[in-house]
Amino acid sequence: MTDMSKVTIHMVSSLDFFIAKKDGSVSWLQSSDSYEKGATYEDAQEFVKRIDCFVMGSRTYEHALTLGWPYGDVPTIVLSHRALRADRESVEFYSGDLHKFVNDRLKPNYKNIWVVGGAMLAREFIRLRLADDIVISIMPIILGDGIRFVDEIEREQDLHLKDVTAYKDGMVELSYEIRKTG
C-alpha cells in the first residue's frame, strides 16, 4: 500500500496560530460567527469513515479521552514513551523512531493516515518530512497565547495550495501538499 498511502496532518488553529489554550479549554473550537457564503460541514461520522488510521501524541490522546472520543472505531496509534493503558480496542501505542514508524508500520498497512496533533508531534512530522499534506482549519478567533502550531521547524519547505474552503461558521480550511523538493 506504500505508494498509495498518504500522511495528512490536520490541525485546528486560531488566526494567531495557537492550537490550544494554556488552560486546555476547547470552547473556542465552537464558532458563533456566521459567513453566509460558506459551505456546510460534511457529517462528522461520514468523514471519519474515510480515514484508515489516526495518529496522535500522548497529550492529545489523554485530552481526547477526557473530552469524549471523536475518532470512533478507526485504528488509532498513540505515540508515547510511557506505558499507557488502552481504554479502547482500536487504540495501540508506539514509541521510537518516526521514520521507521511511518515506513514500516503506517504506510504498509493504511492508505489514508491522519496525524491529528498535537503541536509537538506535528512539528516532528513536518521537520522530518514524513507528511505528504497539511490541512489547517483556521477558526475566526485570536487566542493571544497557548500552544503554538508548528514552532521552529528549522528548515524551509515549499507548499502547493490544493484547496481552500470557507464554512458557514467562519472557519477557513487550507489544504496544502508538501513539495518533495525545496
Ligand X SMILES: NC(=O)c1ccc[n+]([C@@H]2O[C@H](COP(=O)([O-])OP(=O)(O)OC[C@H]3O[C@@H](n4cnc5c(N)ncnc54)[C@H](OP(=O)(O)O)[C@@H]3O)[C@@H](O)[C@H]2O)c1
Binding site for ligand X (CB under 6 A): 11-12, 19-20, 24, 56-60, 63, 79-82, 95-96, 98, 116-121, 124, 147
Q: Find the DSSP H helices in 68-161.
A: 98-100, 119-127
Residue 97 or 158 having the CB closest to ligand X = 97
Residue 8 or 58 having the CB closest to ligand X = 58
Q: Find the DSSP H helices in 34-115.
A: 44-49, 58-67, 98-100
**The C-alpha cell of 108 is what?**
504498509
Nearest distance, CB of residue 72 and ligand X, angstroms: 17
Residue 113 or 117 having the CB closest to ligand X = 117
Residue 120 or 166 having the CB closest to ligand X = 120
**The C-alpha cell of 21 is what?**
489554550
Pairing of strands 112-115, 147-148: unpaired
Find the residue with minimal CB distance to ligand X.
118
Nearest distance, CB of residue 74 and ligand X, angstroms: 16
Nearest distance, CB of residue 80 and ligand X, angstroms: 3
Nearest distance, CB of residue 141 and ligand X, angstroms: 11
Q: Are 113 and 52 in contact (CB under 8 A)?
A: yes
Nearest distance, CB of residue 21 and ligand X, angstroms: 8
Write the DSSP string, 9-46. Answer: EEEEE-TT-EEE-TT---GGGS-----TTPBPPPPHHH
Residue 19 or 178 having the CB closest to ligand X = 19
